[in-house]
Structure 1
Amino acid sequence: MAGTTLQDVIVPELFNPYVINRTMELSALYQSGIIANNTEFDALASQASPMVNMPFFEDLTGESEPIIEGADLADNKITSNKDVAVILRRAKMWSATDLAAALAGTDPMMAIGTLVARFWERDMQKELIAILKGVFGTVPAGGSGTPPAETRLASNILDISGLSGAKANWSGSAFIDAEQKLGDAKAQLTGVCMHSATEAYLKKQNLIETVQPSSDVAFGVYQGKRVIVDDGCPVDGDVYTTYLFGNGAVALGNGHPVGDVPTETDRAKRKGSGIDYLINRRTTILHPRGIAWQNAEVAKTEGPSRTEVANPKNWKPVYEPKQIRIVAFKHKLG
């Protein structure tokens, strides 16, 4: 007879909401304001369709007219467009050997839930980096007579890596130039995601301030922006890409589709003393606001892989550049 098993400590109805909430609590992306979650996106992520349309009205343009007695005002229209988000479906399975230490905890379900939440927190960060590679990537040129190579979000890229000498290296003034890509919306910038080599370079110059909240782990701040470190940030030779984010730049939806089973446990009784399995599934929207998903190259109808979200052909901006609160800063290190 087996002792305590995962089936004894995991209550799926309680476990999954705990993991979702704990994931957001742990996420530096969420805590910095880069990623914003609301009930609207939770509802969108719960739809059966692999993509969801989000219509919006374009901003009003032009200038006011003088009032002239007896003259008609010009008839101006408001135009509309649509943003498109893709629903991401991801899953992970663990065996009891991976979770054995957690079973010894005073509250094993909470202990296991924290471990699982930390996995999804790291996974969400990897997902976003893959999305950014696609958003800022270049669609290659085709053969003769086809469109030339195209970087669809070139307006939000500052690339100093091609400058001569030290001018190609990270500097405070170059970072300010990167912020300026958002124009008067730059005040909304709250976070910067960089490679660990970039962080180390800035730390050596004492340019990163360490902040220690009373109820959280310490984190770095550069020019007032929370620093998120991820070695998934692109490195091409000696050229590094750092991402600047505005508040709410990325929408997060935690979905609960009909028929979806987000948490399951299983047990292989015939394997020695038995092996427990924990399966966790996530259905989410992780969408850079104003950059519509094109679904140009996706192999499976269920949704894209991480490789496919990194494909530039699958993304196209639909907002005005400064309304897209993300900037790519390409630079070298001294």
Structure 2
Amino acid sequence: MATTQLSDIFVGDYYATLEPVNSPEKTAVYDSGIITRSPVLDAIANGSQGTAEVSYWQDLDADEAPNISNDDPDDLGEVGKASQASMTARVLYLNKGYGVADLTAELANSEPMQHIRNRFGTYWTRQWQRYTLGAARGIIASNIANNDGDMVIDAGASISAEAFQDAAFTAGDAADQFGAIGVHSVVMNQMVKQDLIEYLRDSEGRIILATYLGKPVFMDDSLTYAPGQYLSVFFGNGAFGYGEGTPKMPVELERKPSGGNGGGAEVLWERKTYILQPAGFSWKGANAQNASPTAAQYASAANWERVFDRKQVPFAAVISGTAAGG
């Protein structure tokens, strides 16, 4: 009986045109509007060597008083200036391969290319989620270590509406910038018990979105700060800038005649070049091109430095749990 091999059905150009079918994880994060595709970051991802400087214009200093006009032609008005600063963005060079043995079972009586693409779509979605939440943990930890925690509220043993409100107002009159909240399932359970959660339902009454004060709430159990502590994070729209480069060979099929103890094997590889840049923070970690950071290294306080004023940074956080309460 003949066996279908990936090499019999793999067409690289066709494969590359298929859209991945994303897991529910991606909907929760991306639909909240916290990640914005940036042509600038796309260009950096395509042309940098691991890290790159992203320049931005500083706002005009409103503390500089305007000149008072008069009729003296020799009284020259003071002239202010616009200045630039920069932050460092880190490029991620990632790849993953799946062996044919894992995929061929999914190919029978189905559209094979779409099944392969679906599998990778889900895999990369989950990796993207881990890097996003890792960066969120890292910048909050950096804020506590380096900025006196001016973006963070300690809620004690259990979450409360007051703690959430205090966290949002760490941004002062920019508190209305936050568009989504990420919480641990333990915190979500506490919010439900305290009637803090409202639900949007479809026409048949099925829950389609959990919200708090009109803001989407998504759950992820990686939102911890320390053993026994949970990290709830407010995100503003565009909290993360996203860029994607094009690897030399984005997708490739490898034939291994000696694999399977000589019976033959095939491996399908995908390669990704990403930038995920939290707004207002600069990467301080390693910049070696061949040593992209892991999601866990993204969560390290030592790898991030805030370069924006507090009000310009679309993040705030609440730490809760037994350790936080003493």
CA distance in 1, matches of 2:25, 2:13: 19
1:1-334 equivalent positions in 2, closer than 5 A = 3-16=3-16, 18=18, 26-61=26-61, 62=63, 63-70=65-72, 71-138=75-142, 150-152=145-147, 154-161=149-156, 169-212=158-201, 218-257=208-247, 260-270=248-258, 271=260, 274-295=264-285, 297=286, 301-332=290-321
With normalisation by structure 2, the TM-score equals: 0.85
CA deviations 1:170-207 (Å, max 9, x no partner) are 11122111111223333231111111111122223343
CA distance in 2, matches of 1:278, 1:81: 42
Tell me: CA distance 1:35–1:289, structure 2 relative to 1, closer, same or farther (3 Å). same
CA distance in 2, matches of 1:217, 1:3: 44
Q: Please, which moves more after superposition, 263-272 or 21-30?
A: 21-30
Tell me: CA distance 1:312–1:266, structure 2 relative to 1, closer, same or farther (3 Å). same
CA distance in 2, matches of 1:325, 1:94: 37
Q: Please, which moves more after superposition, 305-314 or 126-135?
A: 305-314
Q: Partner amino acid for 2:269?
A: I
**Secondary structure in 1 aligned to 2:79?**
coil
Tell me: CA distance 1:274–1:254, structure 2 relative to 1, closer, same or farther (3 Å). same
C-alpha contact 1:138 1:150 (8 A) present in aligned 2: yes
**Secondary structure in 2 aligned to 1:106?**
coil
Q: Partner amino acid for 2:198?
A: E
CA distance in 2, matches of 1:217, 1:10: 39
**Secondary structure in 1 aligned to 2:302?**
helix
**Secondary structure in 1 aligned to 2:129?**
helix
Tell me: CA distance 1:269–1:29, structure 2 relative to 1, closer, same or farther (3 Å). same
**Secondary structure in 2 aligned to 1:218?**
strand
Displacement after TM superposition at 1:81 (Å): 0.4
Displacement after TM superposition at 1:7 (Å): 2.6
Q: Please, which moves more after superposition, 18-27 or 241-250?
A: 18-27
Q: Which residue of 2 aligns with 1:146?
A: none
**Secondary structure in 2 aligned to 1:74?**
coil
With normalisation by structure 1, the TM-score equals: 0.83
Q: Which residue of 2 aligns with 1:164?
A: none
CA distance in 2, matches of 1:190, 1:12: 39
Q: Please, which moves more after superposition, 317-326 or 180-189?
A: 180-189
- Unmatched tracts of structure 2, length 5 or more: none
Let me know the Cα RMSD of the aligned residues. Answer: 3.0
Displacement after TM superposition at 1:210 (Å): 3.2
Tell me: CA distance 1:209–1:135, structure 2 relative to 1, closer, same or farther (3 Å). same
CA deviations 1:205-232 (Å, max 9, x no partner) are 3432333568x99332222111121111
Displacement after TM superposition at 1:157 (Å): 1.7
CA distance in 1, matches of 2:2, 2:123: 28
Q: Please, which moves more after superposition, 63-72 or 116-125?
A: 63-72
Displacement after TM superposition at 1:12 (Å): 2.8
CA distance in 1, matches of 2:99, 2:30: 29
C-alpha contact 1:58 1:80 (8 A) present in aligned 2: yes
CA distance in 2, matches of 1:281, 1:59: 38
C-alpha contact 1:290 1:324 (8 A) present in aligned 2: yes
C-alpha contact 1:196 1:229 (8 A) present in aligned 2: yes
Displacement after TM superposition at 1:301 (Å): 4.5
CA deviations 1:105-138 (Å, max 9, x no partner) are 5322112212211111111111122222322225
Q: Which residue of 2 aligns with 1:143?
A: none
CA distance in 2, matches of 1:212, 1:4: 44
Q: Between Structure 1 and Structure 2, how many residues are aligned?
A: 315
